[in-house]
Chain A
Amino acid sequence: MKARSAFWRDALLLKELRTRMRSRMAMGMVSLYACAMSLLAVWLYTVSGGFSSALASEIGVSLFGIVCWIVLWVIILIAPLVAAGSVSGERDHKTLDSLMAAPISTTRVIAAKLAACLAYFAALLFLSVPVFSVSFIMGGVSPGEILAVFLTLAAIAVWASCVGMYFSTYFQRSLASIPVASVVVIGISLVVVYVFEGAGAVVIRMVSPLAQIELVTEGGSFSVFGYDLPGMVPCIMWSLLVASWLFEAARQNLTFPVERRFCALRLLFGLAVVVIWTATVGGIVSDVAEMDPAPSLQFWLGRVAVPILMGLTVFLLIVTPWVSSSSPVTYSDLDAEKRGVVHRFRSLRAWVLDGARFMVLLAVLMIGIALFAMRVVNTPWSVMTRAAFTMSAGIMPVVLAMACAGRWLSGRGSAVRRWVGMSITYVLFLGSVLVSMAVSGALLEEASERSALFQWGFLLSPAIGGVWLRMTAMLRLVLPAVAKAQFEPLLVPCLFYLAIASILSVPAYVLPWIHARGNGTKRQDPDGKA
């Protein structure tokens, strides 16, 4: 059985590689690229005055940078062309139905297509080796630096291919998927680096391949949990994380093509939550690192609180878009009673798998918190973190309660009653958002002015998360097929989030009381003001 399984898996990959590499476009592009790289190598050698030049090492470094950018742009420009046509191209040529009628999973189909795309880029990277080696021979560049650039470029190729793959499954025709994927890849590459600036935006900038290559070629490092990591580590991590979300979303699109717009909305909101959380937490960590240590109970507990926040961000970073890209359509909306035992088993298995997935992520989160708590020292208690806890602890239960009420009201009675119920819950939700914002804003006014941007980011991030949840619930009402679904993949992460927020809320309210009883003095804020 195992041998047979391996055999057909190879058959799928073999077919993808054959069809990919034998196409005229692929052959033409590789040939063109090889010619261009050869000419570039000759030209570089000529203009640099040969390997014996006195300035060889300086020229070598410059050439290295230039070649990196050339290869990067080749990947950015070609990846959407190659990957975005992989599934929609099958539709164009009317071969997709035959493929999907075979007993193979959508995961394997997407994986095989991605592997074929990456094999193509591996060929392109391999063709770049002679040009890289010119700068290596001239000196000034170490093998380690070249390896770092190669790995980063490979991760960028994975990311760009997954973007193309996602749009390839989203759109019906290559005529739409290829230009949209191209615009998105080039747009993210260019826009992100110019829009996001400052300490809190460092992580977000890593989404852009331009920022990644800039960091890696300049030999920059990245401080995580107190350790200085090589610049390529966060770059590769970001690329692969985003790629994994898009891979999952592409798989869902192929499995449930009717629901692809719904999945895209969830993915978009999820990404928005993660981006804002990442920016704001990045800013807070930067801020607290500059604060003076204060030997008090608050100081020590604060050392734990901020890492927990950081861990929560990591959790959101990994889970949110992944879960939000999942389709809510399951077997339960296919006439549950007739499915009997098989249906119940499937549903139960889905729940168990989801639970297991979150348990693994929880373990990762806890390890991250422990590592961070061990390393960070300058983490005093601050008004800003208290405001964040208030937001987390205050707004999320309200949002969840409203969502549950909306589900309960909307799940029964006439269409009018459903819409009335939805409207009431939505108004209540907005009210709760405003109240929470007002309370948190009042707390934030006490905080330092210098991190106002991050405070507002912090203030808004749970609200956007709430809107995302609410929107999800609304969509369930609007789309009849979705409304029938009994299984709610968001419920598990929501409950998890609620639990975390509740735990976080305890020190936010208990600590000031302890502080007041303990020393009877005024609390020290981040700027040392009384």
Chain B
Amino acid sequence: MISVDSLTVCYGKLKAVNNVSVEVPDGEVFGLIGPNGAGKTTAMKVLAGLLLPAAGTVRIDGYDVVCERAAVQARIGYMVDFFGVYDYLAVTEYLEFFAGVYGVPPGTVEKRIAEVLEIVKLTHKKTAMIHELSRGMKQRLYFARTLVHSPSLLILDEPASGMDPRGRSELMQALREWNEATGKTIVISSHILDELEQICTSVGIMETGSMVGTRSLRGGGKEGEKERRVLLAVAAADRGRARTVLSGLAQVSDVGERGDEFVLTLPDSDSVVREVIDALAGESIALLLPRADAAPLEQTFFTMTKGETT
């Protein structure tokens, strides 16, 4: 779906994005995280065809974002972080305008607008002028705009910033449902990591313009494909043997260490956890504290970034 190869973007002498390469398959919900000034928004603007890269290529559905910009832009719905709307238009006029410029067939515009207003729960405001809406409603309307032409890729730059907790939750729910219903791809950035963790299937972590790492997360796929992360604490004397045993288990896809604990990535199934515990018990290794990893993404973020800015 998205293929980024050696992307570099410069503002004068400053390299806002530096030699970034990443692949995002179809249907993925890809989270882009990083500190302020990491280059997330710049990278997203290149994906949306708003910025020219200084070097590298970006392809979406096989189309080059520079050479075939119109074809790319017709396929994406882009939500900017600091957005604005046209205050002197009515809600339906606003959506009709974007349906028009994105080439939605005139006969289906009305139906499509009704659908997206239903998704963002603004049907009751369809005849209202935009300047009469609250900020949260404007944000939902703006999100409806990104959906109005049924894009195959959503690029959302901090879509829930400024929303109240209920609004954020509803937006994330709507995104999850849209992804599950359509199987289409989402690239989303946010500083609220636990929300990203709920919907993302993978994340990329950026800092000072570079992609410092990518990793797969649980959720988003079919039931059997979900993963969970479990923390295991064992006695210091048994750590070496425990590492050997855990590394030898086929069900454990990743064995990491954080302080005195092992961080295991497993299929999201209680029986698999039981098998791991049994395997350790079979080697007479006593578990001190098995528990689920509460915030793996946040831990990953702090582990992989140093808090530097460009």
Residues of B within 8 A of A256 (CB): 52
Which of A28-36, A98-106, A118-126, A170-178 is found at the contact surface with chain B? Answer: A98-106
The answer to the question of A418 belonging to the interface, with a C-beta cut-off of 8 Å to chain B, is no
User: Which A-chain residue is minimally distant from B84 (CB atoms)?
Assistant: A94
Give the interface SS of chain A, mostly helix, strand, loop or mixed: helix
How many chain A residues sit at the interface, stated as a range, is: 35 or more
| Given known A-B contacts A8-B101, A331-B67, A19 and B52 have beta carbons under 8 A apart | no
Closest to B79 in A: A98
Let me know if A15 and B86 touch, CB within 8 A: yes
Q: Is B97 an interface residue (CB 8 A)?
A: yes
Task: Decide: B56 and A335 in contact? CB cutoff 8 A.
Answer: yes
Whether B197 sits at the interface, judged by CB under 8 Å, is: no
**A95 in contact with B85 (CB, 8 Å):** yes
Alpha-carbon gap, A335 to B66, bound state (A): 11
Binds A, one of B29-37, B88-96, B110-118, B204-212: B88-96
**Whole-angstrom distance between the Cβ of B181 and the nearest chain A Cβ:** 24
Report A-chain residues with C-beta under 8 Å of the C-beta of B10: 481
CB within 8 Å: A-B pair count: 109
Q: Is the CB of A11 within 8 A of B80?
A: no
B277 CB within 8 Å of chain A: no
Can you list, as one digit per residue, whether each of B52-79 has a CB less than 8 Å from chain A (1) or not (0)?
1111110000001011111101101010
Residue in chain A with minimal CB distance to B8: A335
Given contacts A7-B106, A335-B55, whether A18 and B89 have CB atoms under 8 Å apart is yes
Contacts of B80 in A (CB 8 A): 94, 97-98, 101
- Asked whether A97 lies within 8 Å of B86 as measured between CB atoms, the reply is no
Known: A4-B105, A103-B103, A343-B67. A15 touches B97 (CB 8 A): yes
Known: A94-B84, A98-B145, A343-B67. A8 touches B100 (CB 8 A): yes
User: In the complex, which residues 319-359 of chain A have their Cβ closer than 8 Å to any Cβ of chain B?
Assistant: 329, 331, 334-335, 338-339, 342-343, 346
Chain A to chain B contacts (Cβ below 8 Å), 28 pairs: A4-B103, A4-B106, A5-B103, A11-B99, A12-B97, A15-B86, A18-B88, A19-B88, A22-B88, A23-B88, A97-B48, A97-B50, A98-B80, A98-B84, A98-B98, A101-B50, A101-B80, A102-B101, A103-B71, A334-B52, A334-B54, A334-B55, A338-B5, A338-B56, A338-B57, A339-B67, A342-B68, A481-B10
Residues in A lying within 8 Å of B, measured CB to CB: 3-5, 7-8, 10-12, 14-15, 18-19, 22-23, 90, 93-95, 97-98, 100-105, 256, 258, 329, 331, 334-335, 338-339, 342-343, 346, 481
Binding site for A on B (CB under 8 A): 5, 10, 45, 48-50, 52-57, 64, 66-71, 73-74, 76, 78, 80, 82-89, 93, 96-103, 105-106, 142, 145
